[in-house]
Amino acid sequence: MKYTKEQIATALQLLGSTGSPRKVIEILGYPSNPMLYHWRKKYPELYTSPQMNHWKQASPEFKLEIIQRCFIDGENVKSVSEEIGYTPSSIYGWYRRYRKKGIFPSMKKSDKHTVTPNAANAENIDDLKAQMLEMQMEIDILKETINVLKKDPGVDQTALKNREKAVIIDALKSKYSLPDLCKKLSLSRSSYYYQETVMRAEDKYLEIRKRIVQLFHMNRNTFGYRKIHMLLHNEGIIVSEKVVRRIMRQEQLTVKQKRTKKYNSYKGEITPAVENIVNRDFHAEKPNQKWITDITEFSIKSGKVYLSPIIDCLDGMPVSWTIGTSPNAELTNTMLRKAIATLSPDEKPIVHSDRGCHYRWPEWIKIMDEAGLTRSMSRKGCSPDNSACEGFFGHLKTEMFYGYNWDDYSIDEFIQEVNDYMQWYCRDRIKTTLGGLSPLDYRRSIGVCV
């Protein structure tokens, strides 16, 4: 906004008569403090006032008075700043300098001395220093609560656990006295010393802790505390889920998650759809009774990669899979032929898919008919009809794709990573629905030849 010469002159004259930028802005409704400073410097002929000699340069005594009003008497810093014509940052700056040195340098360059409070104000100054020290202690305690304990800034510090309070005290006891810290955190010294003894004591879960870390990394950093607990149980290590969860939280063993847009292979009703025979019943009594299939896309810096698997509904075992750079007929048809090659002559599974174009092309239909397999299709746009396959892709991407940086991987290297995961899924990835066994181990346990 542009101001006329008359508006500028009015503002500077009012500034000269009142001596207060706040009053100028309050009366006229313009300008801002920085603009008023600018006008005062640019148009000195319009401004004359002995009252403003100390507008920018406050005396040490004046600074002490303002600090006492704000930090002892409890007046609002913003309100005081508006009253005296200084910014809140200036007042906080005076406070920081005083807290550091206890004195203010004289503003006149010719003065070589510093101005200190007189004896009459010594008691108030001591109180001011004590309150400043206490405020700084509160700030440092809050910082440790946020940075070390990872608590919310609004947490009630007196409601912290004694162990957490002891951790904060350990971090600050070189800066503040132990009695002051204990008093501020409402913790007795005997309780502090007890917590110190406990924390220095040998970790009774040390070996279990090491094994949990090993199991987490051995399983591609993908298992939560329930599956880690199952693995420990399988090894004969008896420990509660609560302990496993706490140790994993302490060791920051968390599974990374992210969501991306889902690949869609639907290209219209290119051939007649078939009946939804599976009808969301993904339970199977034996291997090769019901198969489900779909395609998922991985987008990395080097390009796009597509995975086409067939999953057995008995145990979630990937029967076969193909990985390529194009979601074409060769990708799905090759996968189907590989899966059929694993069947015995009397096995004729139902193969359930969505309505993607890959499962409606003539070659796919021909392969299915020649093998005597039965087609089943989801309803149009209804992903729950193929939720078991969607769930498989969800686990896959959460465990090996989301949260990882693939920028330095070539297409071939990434394809190898996906293939390694699929093999690991079959051999080693345990499932709660299989009693803590991998699909391969489960089949062995029920006497199915693999």
Lowest mean pLDDT among 5-14, 111-120, 277-286: 111-120
Measured CA distances, 125 to 77, 80, 104, 130, 302 (Å): 19, 20, 13, 9, 67
User: Cα 96 to the chain's mean position, in Å?
Assistant: 34
pLDDT value at 55 more than 70: no
Give the largest Cα separation in the chain, rounded. 108
| 3-class SS string, 97-159 | HHHHHCCEECCCCCCCCEECCCHHHHHHHHHHHHHHHHHHHHHHHHHHHHHCCCCCCCCCHHH
| pLDDT value at residue 136 | 82
pLDDT one-digit tens code per residue, 153-175:
566 766 788 888 888 898 888 88
Pairing of strands 350-353, 374-377: parallel
In this structure, whether the domain defined by 290-445 belongs to CATH 3.30.420.10 is answered with yes
Tell me if 207 sits within 8 A of 216, measured CB to CB: no
pLDDT at 113: 44
Q: Is CATH 1.10.3470 the classification given to domain 60-116?
A: no
| Separation in Å, CA 390 to CA 131, 284, 291, 428, 444 | 61, 17, 13, 21, 26
pLDDT of residue 68: 79
Domain ranges (residues) in the chain: 5-52, 60-116, 135-200, 206-250, 290-445
Q: Which of 129, 160, 127 is nearest to 145 (CA)?
A: 160
Name the nearest CA neighbour of 175 among 146, 199, 200, 140. Answer: 140
Dihedral pair phi/psi, residue 319, rounded to 5°: -70, -45
Element (H, E) at 351: strand 350-353
> What's the mean per-residue pLDDT of the chain?
82
**What integer pLDDT is reported at residue 114 of this predicted model?**
46
Q: How far is CA 57 from CA 54, 61, 109, 110, 135, in A?
A: 5, 12, 12, 15, 27
- The model's pLDDT over 272-329, given as tens digits with 9 standing for 90+, comes to 778 889 988 999 999 999 999 999 999 999 999 999 999 999 999 999 999 999 988 8
What's the pLDDT at 123? 56
Strands 290-293 and 296-300: unpaired
The pLDDT confidence band at residue 338, using thresholds 50, 70 and 90, is: very high
From the centroid of its chain, how far is CA 323? 32
More confident residue, 209 or 130: 209
Q: Which CA distances in Å does 331 have to 262, 265, 325, 352, 361?
A: 18, 13, 9, 17, 13
Same fold, 60-116 and 290-445: no
Alpha-carbon distance of 353 to 43, in angstroms, equals: 80
At residue 202 the predicted structure's pLDDT band, cuts being 50, 70 and 90, is low
Question: Where is pLDDT greater, at 6 or 331?
Answer: 331
